[in-house]
Amino acid sequence: MPIISSPHEFNVEDLYLDLRRVNGTPLYLKCEGFNFAGSIKLKAAVAMVDAAEREGRIGPDSVLVESSSGNLGIALAVIAADRGYRFICVTDPRCNSTAQQLMRSLGTDVRVVSTQDANLGYLHSRIQYVRDLCATSDRYLWLNQYANPDNWRAHYEKTAPAIAASFPDLAVLFVGAGTTGTLMGCARYFKQHRPDVTVVAVDAVGSVTFGGVPERRVVPGLGTSTRPQLVDESVVDDVVHVSEPDTIRVCRELAARGFVLGGSTGTVVGGASRWLAEKYPGEDPVAVAISPDLGERYLTSIYDDHWLNEHFGQDGPFTHSHWSPHP
């Protein structure tokens, strides 16, 4: 019986969903949404705050600051509430209202930046806001998930070893690319300890992380409009890009089978399914994909018909007449 005194002390590390029965894909989905922050970002949040505490960068008057489209902000809000820190999350209009409300309920000061950058996103504008804010006072501490090595170390030390232990015969690992903290940590671990494992990055169409052409994106989570400093392409074996309509289609297919998962999961599963069909046609390799979060925070977006019609039109491939939930 687990008994905890801090929210970060609980995280389900060994739950996998076998997608063969769900959508016919030979893929195990590592479900990372079962903790008090509701996503895999709790690991990075704890690692970055712990390091800042060890190094003496957090004082009695410190205010933590971070740019986030949702999950990392929520995770930091949980840690800040637990440890008594003030926290400012700088986000943008793509951040779900549910995520914003959740952060505010935890005592976070949520600031929404609505100025688009040259790549049709908001990341550059958010980061500039953070830099300008930090320049006004030394009490502001930017954890900087886009360049902080403790972001990827959290997954090098925890996520990747857990996968390796559960699947000693693993052939392929699929990891979504946002800040690339999860991707870089897992890729570095397997390159060092299991170089026979193929690590595939899954990114969103319209993201510039791996040199793609910038396009408008409305689903928060994976993809960037400014290349993260953490990116090291030398440890990634392949990259697959997934369009937002495909992301939404996969999410709704999974929900039709009882699994309401987040937008990033739809992207990763969509990319993994296509990659496996192309690289291993008719075969059954041991493959794992990481599911960063659950789907409740997306009920007002990718699971809402009005939102879909607003952003994709009424003829988008998302209604039940366009797909069957059973393979």
Bridge partners (DSSP) of residue 90 are 67, 111
Confidence of residue 226 (pLDDT cuts 50, 70, 90): confident
Residues 6+ apart with CB under 8 A from 261: 31, 33, 251, 254, 255, 291, 293, 294, 295
Half-sphere exposure of 148 (CA within 13 A, CB side): 21
Burial of 205 (0-12, 13-18, 19+ CB in 10 A): middle
Report how far apart, in Å, the C-alpha atoms of 222 and of each of 1, 176, 179, 297 are.
35, 6, 8, 15
**CATH topology identical between 7-35+149-322 and 41-142:** yes
DSSP class of 320 = G
Give residue for tokens 């986030």.
Answer: 68
Confidence at residue 69, expressed as pLDDT on a 0 to 100 scale: 87
pLDDT in tens, 112-153: 999 988 877 888 899 999 999 999 999 999 999 999 999 999
Confidence at residue 71, expressed as pLDDT on a 0 to 100 scale: 94
Of 38, 11, 25, 23, nearest in space to 288 by CA: 25
CATH of 41-142, one of 3.40.50.1100, 3.90.1150.10, 3.40.50.300, 3.40.30.10: 3.40.50.1100
The pTM assigned to this predicted structure is 0.93
* Residue 211 or residue 40, greater confidence: 40
What is the gyration radius of the CA atoms in the chain, in angstroms? 19
Q: In what order do the strands lie in the sheet with 86-91?
A: 109-112, 86-91, 63-67, 140-142
- Residue spans per domain, the chain: 7-35+149-322, 41-142
The DSSP H or E segment spanning 43 is helix 41-54
For the domain covering 7-35+149-322, report its CATH number. Answer: 3.40.50.1100
Chain centroid, CA 267 distance in Å: 10
Provide the mean pLDDT of the chain. 92
Bridging pattern class, strands 16-18 and 28-31: antiparallel
Query: What does residue 277 show for φ and ψ, rounded to 5 degrees?
Result: -65, -35
Confidence at residue 117, expressed as pLDDT on a 0 to 100 scale: 82
Question: What is the rounded distance in angstroms from the CA atom of residue 37 to the CA atom of residue 283?
Answer: 37
